[in-house]
Chains A and B, each alone.
Chain A
């Protein structure tokens, strides 16, 4: 029986990955799971399908290279690990061995954004910019823990590669009731309706955007929140629609460099389509090597925390048209 969760409860995205992969392993005999020594959540799959599980040890490049090799012969490999190392150490393998031949390799991992308090070596803050630049790559960033399972399932029928970004994945806020929204790769989710402005966001800070919308609602502000969990291909029509329906007032909030991630993707669509906005603000990580601190503290320090989100949204709403 499916377990249901209500908004605000905590769930571990990692455990969802573990369970989903074990289920998918039963359904697809060609599904492989590979990891560079980040296997704690993969135990169920490892123990059930030991001949389709590979832990290569500390060797991210080889892990992605092997996945590509497996995919050549019709296998569907999932590489699970930590994103700073999968997106950068193994980048050429991702680009040349996986994306170039357009192979169905799934790269899923944690530590997207200033999360986990590991310091700059352990924050993936450029990964979406990098991944979005790769031909054939589908790029996602997931905040709702249950959605991770759904995205993995949908990705099974994809021809090419997909990148799935999570935060730490140990304790994530459940954002949506199962079935509340249609979840489809390539389509944004209108997580909250509104007409005064739109906050576009993805990943772990969707919860923060919803909180900001709640706060602003107390002042009678109607703020739309769009969970743009697919950064590539981006939902262009939804961007155009929001420009029209929320008076051209946009805030983009993301736990990624403020330049190069979702804000840049949206700005590209606006420029390409000739859409003129009234106001546009981007909240994200400035170009610094951030130090230590808890997730929320770092967001506050670097100017994209809850208060900054509320303030930016107010400014955008107040802007002269």
Chain B
């Protein structure tokens, strides 16, 4: 079955353009983290920034001017604490006003806050934040799409720590049992939880084999290499195939800012003006390194 396309192939940015968009996203995330008084989950925002960019600008069939289009791909942010990364990605894509996010984030009656709310913010597909809820919801959406004979995809982004929740594996089993080839899970495999590193307290390995054992089609990739993320998206099976796919994207928590990378202290936090400058300098320097 051919997937419905909400835009032409030429509208899709190139890998270089995607890299620029990811840089813009990271800069804006740091800006918010430096100006907002409360804590921002910056570590898991930065680790997911390339995945978000690849999905919203390249992979997902979504249309900012038609958010209720029944043929749109559904995106469920299961690691809801990365809400602001989703808001800003969607703002860059044209869904929301970036200024609106910066001006009201976390304030009374704002649609934008620590965890995404579908009721307050149309365009968001699910209200999440309590970890372990997204994949079951996505299974339900994928099952519904199948039943209605629709060919869109349902894409769910999870944290690796989040996959400690039993509900994730119950959903994994249900997805396989119901042959949901229209379901894709992305794992932000940054190998950190909130207060520990992966394997330190909780053993995740052999991680890809766990998903294979549950009958999923597994794609392992580098979650910070835009060309590879695009290739992973291109390699997704047809939506009428019979196996759900998991893309395990190897990432670094705090990616792009030296003092945040691999640092448990930056699961969530706020940057003062001085640290914002330091963070931006590090982001710029790391970008130069990569483009050389």
Cα–Cα, bound, A301→B108 (Å): 9
Cα–Cα, bound, A117→B132 (Å): 20
Mark A263-293 against chain B: 1 for CB-CB distance below 8 A, else 0. Answer: 0000000000000000000000000010111
Is A55 at the interface (CB under 8 A from chain B)? yes
Q: In the complex, are the beta carbons of B117 and A291 less than 8 A apart?
A: yes
Cα–Cα, bound, A177→B203 (Å): 46
Q: In the complex, are the beta carbons of A58 and B113 less than 8 A apart?
A: no
A-B contact pairs, 5 of them (CB 8 A): A56-B202, A59-B166, A119-B115, A292-B107, A292-B110
Is B162 at the interface (CB under 8 A from chain A)? yes
Q: Which of B53-61, B190-198, B231-239, B250-258 contacts A (4 or more CB under 8 A)?
A: B190-198
- CB under 8 Å from chain A, chain B span 91-140: 106-110, 112-115, 117, 119-120, 127-132
Is A297 at the interface (CB under 8 A from chain B)? yes
Could you count the A-B residue pairs with CB atoms below 8 Å apart for me: how many are there? Answer: 94
Cα–Cα, bound, A135→B175 (Å): 37
Is B44 at the interface (CB under 8 A from chain A)? no
Q: In the complex, are the beta carbons of B202 and A57 less than 8 A apart?
A: yes
CB within 8 Å for A55 and B196 given contacts A119-B114, A121-B115: yes
Interface size grouping (class) on chain A: 20 to 34
Cα–Cα, bound, A60→B162 (Å): 11
Q: In the complex, are the beta carbons of A58 and B195 less than 8 A apart?
A: no
CB within 8 Å for A121 and B196 given contacts A57-B161, A298-B108: no
Q: In the complex, are the beta carbons of A85 and B130 less than 8 A apart?
A: yes
Q: In the complex, are the beta carbons of B130 and A58 less than 8 A apart?
A: no
Q: In the complex, are the beta carbons of A37 and B161 less than 8 A apart?
A: yes
Q: In the complex, are the beta carbons of B114 and A292 less than 8 A apart?
A: yes
Mark A52-68 against chain B: 1 for CB-CB distance below 8 A, else 0. Answer: 00011111111000000
Is B272 at the interface (CB under 8 A from chain A)? no
Chain B residues near A38: list those with CB within 8 A: 194-195
Mark A97-132 against chain B: 1 for CB-CB distance below 8 A, else 0. Answer: 000000000000000000001111110000000000
Cα–Cα, bound, A18→B38 (Å): 23
Is A40 at the interface (CB under 8 A from chain B)? yes
Chain A residues near B80: list those with CB within 8 A: 121
Q: In the complex, are the beta carbons of B161 and A118 less than 8 A apart?
A: no
Chain A residues near B195: list those with CB within 8 A: 37-40, 55
Cα–Cα, bound, A84→B132 (Å): 13
Residue from B106, B119, B194 within 8 A of A289 (CB atoms): B119
Is B201 at the interface (CB under 8 A from chain A)? yes
CB within 8 Å for A292 and B106 given contacts A57-B164, A58-B132, A59-B164: yes
Q: In the complex, are the beta carbons of A120 and B38 less than 8 A apart?
A: no
